[in-house]
Structure 1
Amino acid sequence: MAPVPMPISTSSTTIDTVVSRSTGRAMRVRWPRSRRPSTRPARKARARASMGRGPCAQGWNGDQPELYGDRWRLSIPCPPPEWWRCRADVASMHKNKRMNADRQGPAAPGRMTRMVEITHRRVPVGEVTLHVAEAGRPDAPVMLFLHGFPEFWYAWKGMMSRFAGEYRCVAPDLRGFGESDAPAEVDAYRTKRVVGDILGLIDALGGEKVILVAHDWGGAAAWSFAMAHPGRIHRLIILNSPHPATFQRELMRNPEQIRASQYFRLFRTPEAEEKLSANDFDWLWRFSMRPVYDKGLMTDEDRAAYLEAWGRPGRLTGGLNWYRASPIDVVPAGTTPPEQPLLDPAVYSVRVPTLVIWGLGDTALVPGLIEGLEAWVPDLRIERVQHATHWIAHEAPDEVEAHIRDFLSKRG
């Protein structure tokens, strides 16, 4: 669990500033007054006697100050005669202090390295009207970003800031999400409807070929769009989203993927909305964005934006309808699914230069999904990111940007 700021009661505590010998940085510690260390010579003598028997080595059980703003305790005597022996504790404290500081500002360094102007408008695309965020020059090549569940255009804010100097970056709320229209019927989220939205949006943007960047359900839509309209895509870039053929294969043959996909079964139930939205969307937050937040990669402002988007009328149902409309069959864990013929590469192939960037720590989509993918995507490049999970655009933005730029520069 992330460190949580703790209230300070000036009637029962005292706040001291202590300088670390290992880093030279000042730190604030909170002492209960009844346990505040004295400066008596006898106490100093005991502290000196502890030299060579550091608290990290022997397990200090004396006075332990609580770090101001954190729940962690730094196990050192104070004044600390051998703070240098507790470098791991000090490093952990600084890391968590930085995480808390990150959340108080609009974004942490490295996550959004450039400030760009993002404009918003509504674009009719046929059956529905989509809310669209844009950044960059209107005359530049279009880089179109498609988000997944339970995100919305905001998920691409950081990437848009990185590419807006060279491209016209466009990030819609897909149907059912954010400020876009959210039809109530499950049938409104079938693949052909979503593909039609993308085609209508590209036409509204001028009709030129686009660089299509997509994640999760946005990736599922992008795969289908690339199969149906390869001539509308200049380059396809997929982040942790399986091609339908390898997804079908793994859900038939890989018990690990079957277990990982059990949430599909929950999301298709009539009770899903109630469960996911209870206690201010607590279950949905923990299922999705909480790990990113706990790593200090999202601010409180980001969290509020997600909760607002989820709370719009009909939008949670709209997002869940993507699961309900999908033909993907997920059997209960521990059962054997019926064997079916794999999707024919002649029908389900993607004839577009494609880059797949995959976070290998994804617990919902196992790495086996990218094995053998070249049978359906002949012009394929795969980049594996060891330390990233499903939320790779948040966790490894530098790597994602570098892979995209390298792919585009070599392809022209």
Structure 2
Amino acid sequence: MIPEHETFHGTWPYLARYCKAAGFSQHYIDEGPRKGAENLVLLHGEPTWGYLWRHLIGPLSRRHRVVVPDHMGFGKSETPADRSYLAVEHVDNLEKLLVDELDLHDITLVLHDWGGPIGTGFALRHPDRVRRMMATNTVLPLGMPGYPELMAGNMRDSSWFRWAQAAQADGTLESLLGNAGNTVTHLMLALQTIGRPEIVTPTWIRAYSAHFTDRAQCRGVIRFPQQLVAPDPDAPTPQPPDAEAVTALRGKPALLVQGMRDTALLPGYTMPAFHLGYPSAPIIELPEAGHFTSEDAPETLLALLALFLQTT
């Protein structure tokens, strides 16, 4: 895990907080006013951590309470050896933080990559605590007909998933991702796409690779793709979401902001998948942004989120 006081040359100036409610040390930041403010929860995915949202946190926290957790095995969170690192376990961890530790209500979820399924899993358990959902280059799995077929198409055509499936087949996936300290930023550039490669500085590289000091610290980054390309036959079968919870979530405001140069979660699949759950909700296309919209277009993403909050 990244040391508590590491700021990466001042680019991550936020006070580290830790929650032990899920049985490990989960890092999060909690910035901004507590009373009378919107509660915003920003969730990262693979292979990032809260640093992904650094450009948004400062401006948002002037008026809103902004909570940004690091998933287990990422960023400043611990990487325990005795966990499965399946998505449902990350949902459990998020529930412990947001409900048991912080008791948040009226939450606006801002979701990227695996943050989408994890945040949606939380929202399905607690639709009464969620006010609205903003997705960016992710999916919101609500059990809608046609969703599995769209995800199968993305698995087939995505550069990231084609690579992951080939690496799993030839036995190199775990070794490549187990060396994420040296490979992770290359994978972000080559297989998920950074639309503005000029942002990739030595500090940026160190921020995204610093957690992965050895194979033991890479459990999280290995398991996210592995559970899709090599699912464990002994893992519990996911149950269909509760119909009443799905109906409740579909009645809430939602927005998708899609980086159109994404080569991991392809717009041709993620946008129709979003519309299955939210047929009337807006989709904003960012033509020059890749998978990481908060890196490629942070000012635009911030403005869209502010507008979303004001108009819903």
Q: TM-score, normalised by structure 2?
A: 0.78
Q: C-alpha distance in 2, partners of 1:390/1:407?
A: 21
Between the two structures, name the one with larger relative contact order (CA 8 Å, sep ≥ 6).
2
Offset, 1:378? 5.2
The 5 A counterparts of 1:254-403 are 257=157, 261-265=161-165, 271-276=172-177, 278=179, 281-289=181-189, 292=194, 295-311=197-213, 314-326=216-228, 346=243, 350-351=249-250, 352-368=252-268, 369-371=270-272, 373-377=274-278, 380-403=281-304
| Structure 1 alignment gaps of length 5 or more | 1-104, 330-342
Offset, 1:164? 1.1
Distance 1:367 1:380, change over 3 A: same
Offset, 1:259? 5.7
Q: Per-residue displacement from partner, 1:230-251 (whole Å, max 9, x unpaired)?
A: 1111111111012335652224
Task: State the AA in 2 paired with 1:402.
Answer: A
Whether contact under 8 Å (1:130, 1:173) holds in the other structure is yes
Task: State the AA in 1 paired with 2:260.
Answer: L
Higher-Rg member (1/2): 1
Aligned residues with identical type, % of pairs:
23
Offset, 1:217? 0.9
1:179 alignment counterpart: 76
2:16 alignment counterpart: 120
Distance 1:227 1:328, change over 3 A: farther
2:102 alignment counterpart: 205
Q: Per-residue displacement from partner, 1:31-87 (whole Å, max 9, x unpaired)?
A: xxxxxxxxxxxxxxxxxxxxxxxxxxxxxxxxxxxxxxxxxxxxxxxxxxxxxxxxx
Q: C-alpha distance in 1, partners of 2:155/2:85?
A: 28
Offset, 1:268? 5.1
Moved more, 292-301 or 380-389: 292-301
RMSD of Structure 2 on Structure 1 (CA) = 3.2
1:152 alignment counterpart: 49
Are residue 132 (structure 1) and residue 28 (structure 2) matched? yes
Distance 1:151 1:372, change over 3 A: closer
Q: C-alpha distance in 2, partners of 1:363/1:384?
A: 15
Task: State the AA in 2 paired with 1:358.
Answer: Q
Q: C-alpha distance in 1, partners of 2:166/2:16?
A: 34
Whether contact under 8 Å (1:211, 1:237) holds in the other structure is yes
Q: C-alpha distance in 1, partners of 2:66/2:280?
A: 24
1:13 alignment counterpart: none
Q: C-alpha distance in 2, partners of 1:345/1:328?
A: 27
Q: Secondary structure at the match of 2:210?
A: helix
Offset, 1:410? 0.5
Offset, 1:160? 0.5
Offset, 1:150? 0.9
1:189 alignment counterpart: 85
Q: Per-residue displacement from partner, 1:290-336 (whole Å, max 9, x unpaired)?
A: 7649622243222222221222663312221123335897xxxxxxx
Whether contact under 8 Å (1:106, 1:299) holds in the other structure is no
Offset, 1:383? 1.2
- Aligned partner (choices 131, 137, 140) of residue 243 of structure 1: 140
Offset, 1:254? 6.2
2:5 alignment counterpart: none
Task: State the AA in 1 paired with 2:72.
Answer: R
Offset, 1:271? 3.4
Q: Per-residue displacement from partner, 1:120-169 (whole Å, max 9, x unpaired)?
A: 11112324331112322243332111111111111111110221101121
Offset, 1:370? 1.1
Whether contact under 8 Å (1:273, 1:317) holds in the other structure is no
Offset, 1:267? 6.5
Offset, 1:401? 0.9
- Aligned partner (choices 224, 228, 243) of residue 121 of structure 2: 224
Q: Secondary structure at the match of 1:296?
A: helix
Whether contact under 8 Å (1:257, 1:365) holds in the other structure is no
Q: C-alpha distance in 1, partners of 2:139/2:79?
A: 25
Q: TM-score, normalised by structure 1?
A: 0.61
Q: C-alpha distance in 2, partners of 1:371/1:345?
A: 22
Offset, 1:256? 5.8
Q: Secondary structure at the match of 2:258?
A: strand
Whether contact under 8 Å (2:194, 2:291) holds in the other structure is no
